[in-house]
Amino acid sequence: GDSVTQMEGPVTLSEEAFLTINCTYTATGYPSLFWYVQYPGEGLQLLLKATKADDKGSNKGFEATYRKETTSFHLEKGSVQVSDSAVYFCALSGPEYGNKLVFGAGTILRVKS
Amino acid sequence: DVKVTQSSRYLVKRTGEKVFLECVQDMDHENMFWYRQDPGLGLRLIYFSYDVKMKEKGDIPEGYSVSREKKERFSLILESASTNQTSMYLCASSSPSTSGTYEQYFGPGTRLTVT
Instruction: List the Cα angle B20/B95/A6 in 5-degree steps.
Output: 80
Q: What pLDDT, on a 0 to 100 scale, did the predictor assign at position A30?
A: 84
Are B103 and A49 within 8 A, CB to CB?
Answer: yes
Residues 45-74 of B with CB under 8 A from A: 45, 48, 56, 58
Of B31, B56, B99, the CB nearest to A51: B99
Q: How many CB pairs below 8 A link A and B?
A: 52
Q: Find chain A residues with C-beta within 8 A of B58's C-beta.
A: 100
Q: What is the pLDDT of residue A38?
A: 96
DSSP symbol at B32:
E
* pLDDT on residue A55: 95
Q: Which of B56, B102, B108 sits opposite A42 (nearest CB)?
A: B108
pLDDT tens, A41-93? 889 999 999 999 999 999 999 999 999 999 999 999 999 999 999 999 999 98
In tens digits, chain B (115 residues) has pLDDT values of 669 999 999 999 999 999 999 999 998 999 999 999 998 888 999 999 999 999 999 999 999 999 999 999 999 999 999 999 999 999 999 887 766 777 899 999 999 999 9
Interface check B87 vs A, CB under 8 A = no
Give me chain A's average pLDDT, please.
93
C-beta of residue B32 within 8 angstroms of C-beta of residue B49: yes
Candidates A101, A102, A103, A108, partner chain B, best to mutate (most B CBs within 10 A): A101
Q: Which residue has the higher pLDDT, A95 or A103?
A: A103
Taking the C-alpha atoms of residue B38 and residue A69, their distance in angstroms, rounded to an integer, is 33
Alpha-carbon span B65 to A34, nearest angstrom: 29
* pLDDT score for B1: 67
The rounded Cα A55 to chain-centroid distance in angstroms is 14
A31 has a chain B CB within 8 A of its CB = no
Specify the 3-state DSSP secondary structure of B80: coil
**Dihedral through CA A38, CA A41, CA A43, CA A48, nearest 10?**
-20
